[in-house]
Structure 1
């Protein structure tokens, strides 16, 4: 039976869905460094930053800025809220796909 709830518009945008799916594959408690996430997604730094900001505003991702020696490093991970939202989104999508 399809859900009457609309799909989460924050996640549903193609680029943000790709970001969420990629980060969901990272074990909870781990993070990806920004350049690696950018490489995996084939996105520009500016485009990725824009979408990460939107996901961060929703409480779905967390960006931790630190230093590796003298070089700045930004680590990106899903928050528990983001993992739950992505799980709900995929469940709703499966229900829509399975509906006849």
Structure 2
């Protein structure tokens, strides 16, 4: 018995099985997935900041000017990202309305 692997079939990338043609790159899907990651990240940061500020307030420590200012800035950034998402969805809906049937 030999410990060698059998040779890879010709035409198969990286020694795997041959694949069919790749689907074309979908820009809209890429943009929406990227925006979903950005929105989830912003929501995570906002939740973390709100949790830290809430924990400080419950512990009786002075919250000061940092927490309210930070939460306002994070909320403004989150709102602008949601506005961008709505604009992209509206633009995508307008381009679909203008297309002739069957495209």
**Largest Rg, 1 or 2:** 2
Structure of greater relative contact order (alpha carbons < 8 Å, 6+ residues apart): 1
Q: After TM superposition, is the score higher than 0.5? A: no
Which is strand-richer, 1 or 2?
1
Q: TM-score range by the shorter chain?
A: 0.3 to 0.5
Which is helix-richer, 1 or 2?
2
Q: TM-score, normalised by structure 2?
A: 0.31
